[in-house]
């Protein structure tokens, strides 16, 4: 019976941690993590992902990276969502080199990036003006069996138009229409 309560309690705690993080009440969320630990309630990957996302959203990168290390020290392995949170944070803070390294680590660790992970990386590259690298990521994405969605295409198309690469933008627009992602 106690085991069932632990699972239920973890879900409850995770809901609270996530809500506190989203409402930018990070100190309360971190205190709740401590209470979980004190009560013998195991935090899980969902707990840590919520906290990491919240910390990165308020630009507390150092605290987030410390929490990431703490998580690993507790024996909790990052999952694809953890890595996506890290990649997104690195792209948004202009640390594209770090984002690329994390992205490469995904394959090494046996994870398959999903459309959201690729799109975040492509967006980061486009914002830095690295359009040809973004197009290479788009190609790599498709080669790895991950189909881009409308958001992925829109990011690259917009960046291409902004750089005056209208022919490439129109080519991608036609591709997007042919895939049924935009009604033409």
Q: Let me know if residue 89 belongs to a domain.
A: no
pLDDT value for 2? 47
Conformation bin of residue 133: beta by default, left when phi > 0, alpha when psi is -120 to 50: alpha
Which DSSP helix (H) or strand (E) runs through 8?
A: helix 2-22
46, 77, 108 — which closes off a domain?
Answer: 77
CATH number for position 182:
1.25.40.10
Residues of the chain under the 70 pLDDT cut: 1-8, 183-184
Q: How far is CA 29 from the centre of its chain?
A: 20
The structure's pTM equals: 0.87
Q: Which residue stretches of 23-165 are H helix?
A: 26-38, 45-57, 61-73, 80-92, 96-108, 115-127, 131-143, 150-162
The count of structural domains within the chain is 2
pLDDT value for 24? 94
Same domain, 182 and 101: yes
The percent helix, strand, coil of the chain (3-state, each to 5) is: 75, 0, 25
Q: Let me know if residue 88 belongs to a domain.
A: no
Conformation bin of residue 14: beta by default, left when phi > 0, alpha when psi is -120 to 50: alpha
- In which domain, by residue range, is 121 found? 95-184
Q: Let me know if residue 131 belongs to a domain.
A: yes
Same domain, 157 and 184: yes
Q: Let me know if residue 69 belongs to a domain.
A: yes
pLDDT value for 1? 39
Question: Helix axis angle, 26-38 relative to 45-57, nearest 10°?
Answer: 160
Same domain, 108 and 71: no
Same domain, 31 and 57: yes
Same domain, 181 and 131: yes
């Amino acid at each position: 019976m106690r085991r069932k309560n632990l699972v239920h309690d973890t879900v409850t705690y995770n809901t609270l941690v996530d809500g506190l993080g989203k409402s930018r009440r990070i100190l309360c969320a971190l205190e709740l993590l401590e209470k979980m630990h004190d009560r013998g309630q195991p935090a899980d990957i969902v707990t840590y992902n919520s906290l990491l996302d919240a910390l990165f959203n308020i630009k507390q990168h150092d605290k987030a990276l410390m929490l990431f290390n703490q998580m690993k020290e507790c024996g909790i392995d990052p999952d694809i969502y953890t890595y996506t949170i890290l990649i997104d944070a690195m792209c948004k803070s202009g640390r594209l080199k770090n984002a690329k390294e994390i992205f490469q680590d995904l394959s090494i660790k046996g994870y398959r990036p999903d459309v959201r992970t690729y799109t975040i990386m492509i967006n980061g590259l486009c914002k830095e003006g690295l359009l040809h690298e973004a197009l290479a990521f788009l190609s790599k994405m498709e080669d790895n069996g991950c189909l881009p969605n409308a958001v992925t295409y829109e990011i690259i198309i917009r960046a291409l138009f902004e750089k005056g690469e209208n022919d490439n933008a129109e080519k991608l627009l036609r591709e997007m229409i042919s895939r049924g992602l935009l009604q033409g």
